Chain A
Amino acid sequence: MVTLQDLKHISDYEWEIPKTYRPDMRVPVRLFATRRLLEDVMKDKSLEQAVNAATLPGLVGHVIVMPDMHQGYGFPIGGVAATRLPDGVISPGGIGYDINCGVRLLGSQIGYEAALPHLDDLATALNHYCPSGVGEGGSVHTTEAELIAVCRQGSRWALKQGFASEADLRRTEESGCVEGANPDKVSVRARQRGRPQLGSLGAGNHFVEIDLVEQIFDLQAASVMGLEEGTLAVQIHCGSRGFGHQICTDYVEEFQAAVKRYNIHLVDRELVCAPLNSPEGQDYLGAMRCAANYAFANRQILAHSARKAFEQVLAGKIKNWHLHQVYDICHNMGKIETHIIDGEQMQVCVHRKGATRAFGPGTPELPEEYRSIGQPVLVPGSMGTASWVLVGTAASMELSFGSTCHGSGRLMSRHEAKRNVRGEKLRQDLEAAGIHIRAGSMAGLAEEAPQAYKDVDQVVDAVVGGGIARKVARLHPLVVIKG
C-alpha cells in the first residue's frame, strides 16, 4: 500500500512515486494533486494501480495520475501512460471498455433570464430526443453497411446524414474521425451491439446537461469559444456504448494469450497488452479506432437531437436559440502522438483513461481558431455541481503528455452512495435548488449523488496549480438528463 511517506514532494501540486518504490516499475509515477486530495486517494487502490501500470513494457517518461484519480480496474481512472513506437505495448484495459467516452460542449447566446420560463420544457424535450437508460436503443438504427461507414468516417458520416455542420467537425478532437480504423477487426458481436445504439446516451454517469455560464476567467479564450457570462450551454457526456464495450471485452480476452506469446509478465491480468508493432496490437488499434469514430458520431447525433429540442421549445419565443459547438473531447483513448521526452522527440502511444488531451497553444493538431489559446478542455462536475471549461498549456505538453483531468472523480463507492442517499430525496433536493432533473432510475441517481464525488473546484485548482491547464469558464447546472 502506497503511503504519503513513499511520495516525493515536487511542489504543492506535484508528487512522485519513485521508480525505486517497487523493483518491477519501469518508470516513476507522477501525481498532480494537493495534499488534501491525495489523502482522499489513499483510501482506495488508485496509487497501487498506478504503480502496476508503471510496469508495462515500453513506457517512457512517467505514468501520470490526475487529481480526479480513483480506483478503476487495471489502470486507475485519471491515468496517462505513454509507450514508445514501434515496440512499446498497447493495453486495451489502459483505455477502458467505454472507448472514446468523452464530453461535448455546445454554447449559445440564449440569456438565462429569457430561458428561465422554458427550462422545464427543455428538460422534457431533451429527455424525449436523447434516448437514455439501461438497454435503451438509439435514435438512429444503422444497417451493417452504415455501421462500417460510421467506423471509418465517424462524425464525417454524421455530416453526410445531415446531423452535423462543418464547424462541428472542425471543433471536434481529431475532427471527429481517427484515421486507421479497420472494421474487419471488429467482431460480429460488437457490430450487432453497435447497430441499434447510435444516438443514445446509455446509463451510469452519462448525461445531457443544460448549464449557465456562471463566471468567465479568461475573457479572450471564452470569446474565441463563443462563451458569454449569463448564457446557456449544453454538455453531452457519453461514449461508444455496447459497441466499444464489446470491442474491449474481445481484445482483453484475446490478449490473455498474446502476453504469453510475447513473454510479457503482468502483475494484473487486466493490464494485458501487446506490442504496438505486433499483429495483435495492430488489430486492436484498428478496432479501437472504429469505436472511437462510433463515439464521435454518437455524440454528434446527440448534439443534433439537443438542437432539435431547443428548436422545438424556443423557436419563435427567443430570438437566437441556436447551439454552436465549442469542442468535443475524448477521455478514454489511445492515440499515436509526437512528444518530447527527456529532450528527445519521439512517437508514442498515449493511453488516457479518464484523462483529457490538453494540447497547449500553437499545437498544429488544433483548429485554427484555437491555436492561439490552446485546446479547450471540458471537465464536468458531479450531478448538481459546477463544471469547468479549461484550456491546455505549454507546460501540459512538457509535464503530462499534453493531458489534464477529466472530471471530479469518485470518492464514495456506488454501494455506499446507495446506502447513504435516497434517489427520490436527492431529486427533490436538486429540484428545490432550481435544477430540473429527468432520470431513468432513482437507484442510478443515488449512485451519482454529488457527495459520492470529489469537489470539482479542488480538482481544477490542482491542475491549474500544477500548470497543466488554465481556467476559462465555470458552468452551473440548470437541467440534468440521466439514464
Chain B
Amino acid sequence: MQAEFGFRELAHTADWELEVWAPDLPTLLEQAALGMYTISGVQLEPGENQTRKIILRAADAESLLVQFLSELLWIEQDQNLAFVRISVTVDDDYNLNADLSGSSIVKMDKEIKAVTYHNLQVQALSAGLRVNIVFDV
C-alpha cells in the first residue's frame, strides 16, 4: 500500500521526472522539495543551523509549485543551502508561507538547471493530490 505522502523518480529520456503525492497542497509542496533534494543527491553539514522564510503568491497551484521549487534552487545555488525541515502553509488565494530549516551543502551529485511547467498538472484524486514534475538537468 502506498504511503499517504511521498515521491518517486520516474524514467525520462533526457531529464528527471518526479512523481509526488500528498493529502493536501502544503504537504505536496514539502514532498516535492524533499524529492528535488533527493534526486540531486544533496548532502548537508550535520545540524540544522540555518533557517529561511519564503513568502510567495501565485495564480494557481502549478505556478506556486514551480515558483517554490525555483526559489529553493536559487537559495541552493546562491547561498549553498538546502533544507531538511520544510513547513508550508497555503491559503485559498495561493499565498504561500514556508519556514525552512537546514544547513550548508557539502556535496551534490547533480545540478538541476530548472523546474519546468512541462505537462504540469496538480491532479485532485480521491486520496489527495498528485503531480509529475520534470526538471531540466
Interface residues of A (CB under 8 A from B): 44, 46, 70-74, 77, 93, 96-98, 134-135, 189, 192-193, 202-204, 242, 245-246, 248-249, 252-253, 256-257, 268-270, 272, 410-416, 441, 443-444, 447
Q: Mark B105-137, 1 if CB is under 8 A from A, else 0.
A: 100111101111111100000000000001011
Please indicate the chain B residues that have their CB under 8 angstroms from the CB of A77 in the complex: 14
B113 touches A245 (CB 8 A): yes
Nearest to B105 among chain A residues (CB) is A135
Which of the residues A93, A203, A249 comes within 8 Å of B110, measured between beta carbons? A203
* Given A98-B113, A415-B12, A447-B110, 13 new contacts (CB under 8 A): A44-B13, A70-B14, A73-B15, A73-B136, A242-B77, A245-B114, A252-B117, A268-B118, A272-B117, A411-B13, A415-B10, A415-B11, A416-B11
B13 touches A97 (CB 8 A): no
B110 touches A269 (CB 8 A): no
Q: How far is the CA of A248 from the CA of B117 in the complex (A)?
A: 12
B67 in the interface, Cβ–Cβ < 8 Å? Answer: yes
Stretch at the interface among B44-52, B58-66, B91-99: B58-66
23 A-B residue pairs with CB within 8 Å:
A44-B13, A72-B14, A73-B15, A73-B117, A73-B134, A93-B116, A134-B110, A134-B111, A135-B105, A135-B108, A189-B78, A202-B111, A203-B111, A204-B110, A204-B113, A245-B136, A246-B74, A252-B114, A252-B117, A256-B59, A272-B117, A413-B11, A413-B12
B9 in the interface, Cβ–Cβ < 8 Å? Answer: yes
Query: Contacts A73-B136, A74-B118, A93-B116: A443 and B110 contacting too (C-beta < 8 A)?
Result: yes
Query: Contacts A71-B12, A71-B14, A413-B12: A269 and B77 contacting too (C-beta < 8 A)?
Result: no
B12 touches A414 (CB 8 A): yes
B114 touches A97 (CB 8 A): yes
B77 touches A135 (CB 8 A): yes
B80 in the interface, Cβ–Cβ < 8 Å? Answer: yes
Q: Which of B10, B13, B116 has the most CB of A within 10 A?
A: B13
Please indicate the chain A residues that have their CB under 8 angstroms from the CB of B108 in the complex: 134-135
B117 touches A269 (CB 8 A): yes
Nearest to B9 among chain A residues (CB) is A415
Report B109 CB to chain A, min CB distance, Å.
Answer: 5
Q: How far is the CA of A410 from the CA of B67 in the complex (A)?
A: 29
Q: How far is the CA of A62 from the CA of B124 in the complex (A)?
A: 37
Report B108 CB to chain A, min CB distance, Å.
Answer: 5
Query: Contacts A193-B77, A441-B109, A444-B110: A270 and B117 contacting too (C-beta < 8 A)?
Result: yes
Q: How far is the CA of A252 from the CA of B113 in the complex (A)?
A: 13
Report A477 CB to chain B, min CB distance, Å.
Answer: 21
Please indicate the chain A residues that have their CB under 8 angstroms from the CB of B110 in the complex: 134, 203-204, 441, 443-444, 447
Report B18 CB to chain A, min CB distance, Å.
Answer: 11
Please indicate the chain A residues that have their CB under 8 angstroms from the CB of B12 in the complex: 71, 413-415
Nearest to A48 among chain B residues (CB) is B119
**For the side of the interface on B, what is the size category?**
35 or more
Report A96 CB to chain B, min CB distance, Å.
Answer: 8
Please indicate the chain A residues that have their CB under 8 angstroms from the CB of B41 in the complex: 443
Q: How far is the CA of A293 from the CA of B15 in the complex (A)?
A: 25
Nearest to B70 among chain A residues (CB) is A249
Which residues, 1 to 49 on B, are CB-close (under 8 Å) to A? 9-16, 41
A443 touches B109 (CB 8 A): yes
Q: How far is the CA of A72 from the CA of B17 in the complex (A)?
A: 11
A192 touches B78 (CB 8 A): yes
Query: Contacts A74-B118, A203-B110: A193 and B16 contacting too (C-beta < 8 A)?
Result: no
Please indicate the chain B residues that have their CB under 8 angstroms from the CB of A245 in the complex: 113-114, 136
A253 touches B66 (CB 8 A): yes
B109 touches A413 (CB 8 A): no
Q: How far is the CA of A248 from the CA of B66 in the complex (A)?
A: 13
Please indicate the chain A residues that have their CB under 8 angstroms from the CB of B62 in the complex: 269
Please indicate the chain B residues that have their CB under 8 angstroms from the CB of A269 in the complex: 62, 117-118, 120
Q: Which 7 A-B pairs have the closest CB atoms?
A: A73-B118, A269-B117, A413-B11, A270-B118, A73-B116, A71-B13, A245-B113
Please indicate the chain A residues that have their CB under 8 angstroms from the CB of B74 in the complex: 189, 246
Nearest to B15 among chain A residues (CB) is A73
Q: How far is the CA of A328 from the CA of B66 in the complex (A)?
A: 34
Query: Contacts A71-B14, A410-B13, A414-B16: A97 and B120 contacting too (C-beta < 8 A)?
Result: no
Q: How far is the CA of A424 from the CA of B48 in the complex (A)?
A: 33
Please indicate the chain A residues that have their CB under 8 angstroms from the CB of B114 in the complex: 97, 245, 248-249, 252
Q: Which of A71, A77, A256, A414 has the most CB of B within 10 A?
A: A414
Nearest to B109 among chain A residues (CB) is A443
Report A178 CB to chain B, min CB distance, Å.
Answer: 21
Report A125 CB to chain B, min CB distance, Å.
Answer: 24
Q: How far is the CA of A443 from the CA of B43 in the complex (A)?
A: 15
Q: How far is the CA of A252 from the CA of B67 in the complex (A)?
A: 11
Q: How far is the CA of A189 from the CA of B71 in the complex (A)?
A: 11
Q: How far is the CA of A135 from the CA of B12 in the complex (A)?
A: 23
